[in-house]
């Protein structure tokens, strides 16, 4: 009996430690990274150089909404060219399923992003939909979104933050597996989130 109790206690301790480690990685906040190769940084990144000439260069980066924007780059560039009376080039790159933190870290790891934003004057940023989907917390979203915007500003690129889109968050939740639904419910308790937290995120993006 005594041995059984010790085994149960050991299992509970190991489970608790694993939960803390996993939770820290899942909900933890990333620290701001350096943007210049000349500095000693935890992660390297790229340098953006503005192109000379009359062409207005725009970029769209972020999650799946940015990914789906690729099909509209040419039509958007054509319409903006008519409005501005100058050549316009629009490039986009999105990573489906990425949270704001995951995408921020990708800025330092995915060279495809550098090829899209390099030399652009304005960059439209779409992040947060997966934060709301996973109920990962408003602090998590605001912290990493600010880091993304600061990153672009340091590169002399004007960021434009896009609002959380009006997707069917209830449909997305109801069509998850039971284990994922349980994880979302646990996340809601930990982060004090509501099932439909889109409004909170939108309000935060306007502050």
* Residue 49 near residue 119 (C-beta atoms within 8 A): yes
Report the pLDDT value the prediction gives residue 59, as an integer from 0 to 100.
Answer: 95
Report the pLDDT value the prediction gives residue 68, as an integer from 0 to 100.
Answer: 86
- Distance CA(187)–CA(207), nearest Å, equals 24
Q: Which two tokens stand for residue 100?
A: 């704001």
pTM: 0.81
Report the pLDDT value the prediction gives residue 99, as an integer from 0 to 100.
Answer: 96
| Beta strands per DSSP E along the chain | 56-62, 88-94, 122-126, 158-161
Q: Is 113 exposed, middle or buried (0-12, 13-18, 19+ CB in 10 A)?
A: buried
Report the pLDDT value the prediction gives residue 30, as an integer from 0 to 100.
Answer: 82
Report the pLDDT value the prediction gives residue 9, as an integer from 0 to 100.
Answer: 54
Tell me the β-bridge partners of 61.
93, 125
Report the pLDDT value the prediction gives residue 5, as an integer from 0 to 100.
Answer: 63
Domain ranges of the chain: 49-205
Report the pLDDT value the prediction gives residue 204, as an integer from 0 to 100.
Answer: 84
Q: Mark the ranges of the chain whose per-residue pLDDT is less than 70.
A: 1-26, 34-52
Report the pLDDT value the prediction gives residue 43, as an integer from 0 to 100.
Answer: 47
Please name which of 148, 133, 121 lies closest in space to residue 61, comparing C-alpha atoms. 148
Report the pLDDT value the prediction gives residue 47, as an integer from 0 to 100.
Answer: 52
Residue 180's H or E segment, with its range, is: helix 178-191
Report the pLDDT value the prediction gives residue 94, as an integer from 0 to 100.
Answer: 94
Report the pLDDT value the prediction gives residue 42, as an integer from 0 to 100.
Answer: 46
CA angle 90, 96, 101 (to 5 degrees): 95
Task: Write out the CATH class of domain 49-205.
Answer: alpha beta
Which residue intervals of 28-168 are DSSP H helices? 64-67, 73-84, 100-106, 111-117, 129-134, 138-154
* Residue 150 near residue 80 (C-beta atoms within 8 A): no
Please name which of 85, 104, 95 lies closest in space to residue 28, comparing C-alpha atoms. 104
């Amino acid at each position: 009996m005594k041995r059984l109790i010790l085994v149960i206690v050991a299992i509970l301790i190991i489970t608790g430690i694993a939960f803390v480690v996993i939770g820290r990685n899942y909900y933890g906040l990333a620290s701001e990274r350096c943007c210049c190769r000349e500095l000693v940084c935890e992660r390297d990144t790229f340098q953006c150089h503005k192109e000379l000439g009359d062409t207005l260069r725009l970029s769209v980066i972020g999650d799946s909404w940015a990914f789906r924007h690729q099909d509209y780059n040419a039509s958007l560039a054509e319409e903006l060219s008519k409005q501005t009376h100058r050549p316009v080039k629009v490039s986009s790159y999105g990573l489906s399923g990425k949270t704001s933190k995951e995408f921020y870290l990708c800025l330092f790891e995915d060279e495809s992003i550098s090829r899209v934003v390099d030399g652009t004057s304005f960059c439209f940023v779409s992040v947060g939909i997966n934060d709301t989907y996973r109920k990962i917390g408003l602090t998590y979203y605001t912290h990493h979104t600010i880091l993304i915007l600061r990153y672009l500003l340091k590169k002399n690129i004007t960021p434009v933050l896009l609002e959380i889109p009006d997707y069917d968050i209830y449909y997305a939740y109801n069509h998850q597996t039971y284990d994922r639904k349980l994880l979302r419910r646990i996340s809601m308790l930990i982060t004090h989130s509501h099932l439909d937290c889109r409004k909170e995120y939108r309000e935060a993006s306007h502050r």
